[in-house]
Structure 1
Amino acid sequence: MKYKLIVSDMDGTLLGDNHKITEENKIALSKALEKGVKIVPASGRIYNSAREHFDFLDINTPLIACNGAIIKETKTNKLIYKNNIPNDICLKIIDIFEKNEVYYQLYSENTMMCKNLSKEDQRQTKERLKNFFNDDINVHFGDDLKEEVIKHKILKIIAIDDYDMDKLKKVKEDLDQIEDIEITSSWFNNVEIMHKGVNKGEALKALINYLGIDKDEVIAFGDNYNDLPMLELAGIGVVMGNANDEVKEKGDYITAKNTEDGVAKAIYKFLKI
């Protein structure tokens, strides 16, 4: 078997529009596992949220979470890699978000901290989170998240605005003045920030060194900008059919959409199973 590792994004890639792994993708991953291929999720989600989707495989596998800020094994919880954002930088980022009056969230290893400006904001946020997280995920709501920076090691910070792209553009311009951070996006409506040097590509480098696998033996799947470093590093970077044209141009192969079992179809093609 030429390929020894499959590393895949989750939302917009492995998961369908119902935020669950499609049945055909489950079958394809199980068949790849039977052939001795390692399966590793690489998500922007917090660790626990990403891990719950892979219980069906019943394996101990490394999991890349928070856009590459942490790698842990799913059964043993063994920490392989972690790179959090220093507290002083977190506070600068929060100041920019507060100045621009943009909604934001902080991610630690197992907790999401949400900025809410009103009771209605909190109600809407809770409804939205039901689509992404189970009841075991720690979610903290608060008006002053600076206090949470002191209590937690923050791995990722995200700003979200569904309607005002100019506001997000201004936020990005302000963030560009801060050194030692990585800025990316996993959807049209967000800006995601990690510590300098943190991205899915760097996490994949750390992982293949840990596993003793060559990058040419890796198939990576993704659909958005935060997946590009990983897609470009892998032997084959497979881009989903639902990705935008700019992301598609960076891939080695374009598969079907996430709602059309694009991951499974590419696995069958390249692993010949």
Structure 2
Amino acid sequence: MKFVFDLDGTICFKGQPVSQHIINALLEITKGGHEVIFASARPIRDMLPVIDQNLHHYKMIGGNGSIISKDGEIIYTEAFSPNLIDDIKKLIEKYNATYLIDGHWDYAYTGPSDHRILQNVDPNKLAHLVNVEELDPVIKILILTSNDFEQLENEISQLEVFVNKHKNEKILDISPKGINKWRALRGLGVQKNDYIAFGNDSNDIPIFENALYSVMIGDHEDLSQYANDQIVNKDGLEDEIIDRIQDLTKQYKIK
């Protein structure tokens, strides 16, 4: 069976790497013939530091589906069109917005120097901080601050893009329209009802909709409508996640 895991808030927490306890559980199920795929909002660059090096050859979906890695190599990227980037840049200037913009590997950042998101941006210094004009292609945009966040969100949402607002975060997470984790899974040859999904946020809805079985970590009102199961975020959370993984490997046959 294939197991698809979101990262932040699902199997890694507060910006820290996936614990060795969970890593060991994932290694164990792959030894038993199951497959593990990671699917995150992070670009691949920022997924690697929180995943044990022994798992870096696993299939990874980054940028909410805009970039795919297999056997340690990026094999696919989906970028914004140049015209769309120009339109977004105009809105950024109009509303004096700051951002984190990701290219294939490098990134541009104009946000506050103390913004909490920086703890997750290239912590291993694998990339370069560059001017946005040097990024080609652009695969993902985060709007961090603005002088009129609500109006900026409204105007950006009218473009040919997908906008995700993470729970309890005033950040606009923007991807090319039609890009999501499920589309990337299909690009890896994964079929509907051919996997088990673990996630915690609205950007996991597409993979929950098409999963054979889905497990929500924590509590998210929109995601809960698509979840078959829930693990409450409390003391002993990691042990419960591992127990659920092990139970599901026994319940569902290897495909």
TM-score (norm 1): 0.81
Match of 1:203 in 2: 184
State whether residues 18 and 131 of structure 1, in contact with CA within 8 Å, keep that contact through their aligned partners in structure 2.
yes
Match of 2:45 among 38, 48, 60: 48
- SS, match of residue 51 in structure 2: helix
Structure 1 residue runs of 5 or longer lacking an equivalent are none
Match of 2:77 among 58, 79, 82: 82
1:107 & 1:74 partners in 2: Cα distance? 22
State whether residues 185 and 224 of structure 1, in contact with CA within 8 Å, keep that contact through their aligned partners in structure 2.
no
Match of 2:228 in 1: 252
The amino acid that maps onto 1:10 is: L
- SS, match of residue 14 in structure 1: coil
After the TM superposition, which parts of structure 1 deviate over 4 Å for at least 4 consecutive aligned residues?
none
Are positions 1:240 and 2:217 aligned together? yes
State whether residues 67 and 74 of structure 2, in contact with CA within 8 Å, keep that contact through their aligned partners in structure 1.
no
Are positions 1:94 and 2:89 aligned together? yes
Q: CA separation of 1:67/1:78 partners in 2, compared to 1, >3 Å: closer, same or farther?
A: closer
State whether residues 240 and 258 of structure 1, in contact with CA within 8 Å, keep that contact through their aligned partners in structure 2.
no
Match of 1:103 in 2: 98
Structure 2 residue runs of 5 or longer lacking an equivalent are none
How far off its partner does 1:181 sit? 1.6
Q: How many residues align?
A: 248
How far off its partner does 1:258 sit? 8.3
Are positions 1:7 and 2:4 aligned together? yes
How far off its partner does 1:83 sit? 1.1
How far off its partner does 1:45 sit? 1.1
State whether residues 23 and 52 of structure 2, in contact with CA within 8 Å, keep that contact through their aligned partners in structure 1.
no
Alignment of 1:1-273 (within 5 A): 4-58=1-55, 60-75=57-72, 77-79=73-75, 81-116=76-111, 121=112, 123-125=113-115, 128-140=117-129, 142=131, 145=132, 147-148=133-134, 151-161=135-145, 167-178=148-159, 180-187=160-167, 188-207=169-188, 209=189, 213-241=190-218, 243-257=219-233, 260-261=237-238, 262-272=240-250
1:196 & 1:85 partners in 2: Cα distance? 9
1:196 & 1:18 partners in 2: Cα distance? 27
The structure in which a higher percent of residues are helix is 1
Q: CA separation of 1:269/1:257 partners in 2, compared to 1, >3 Å: closer, same or farther?
A: farther
TM-score (norm 2): 0.86
How far off its partner does 1:33 sit? 0.8
The amino acid that maps onto 1:170 is: Q
Identical-residue share of aligned pairs (%)? 21
Q: CA separation of 1:265/1:132 partners in 2, compared to 1, >3 Å: closer, same or farther?
A: farther
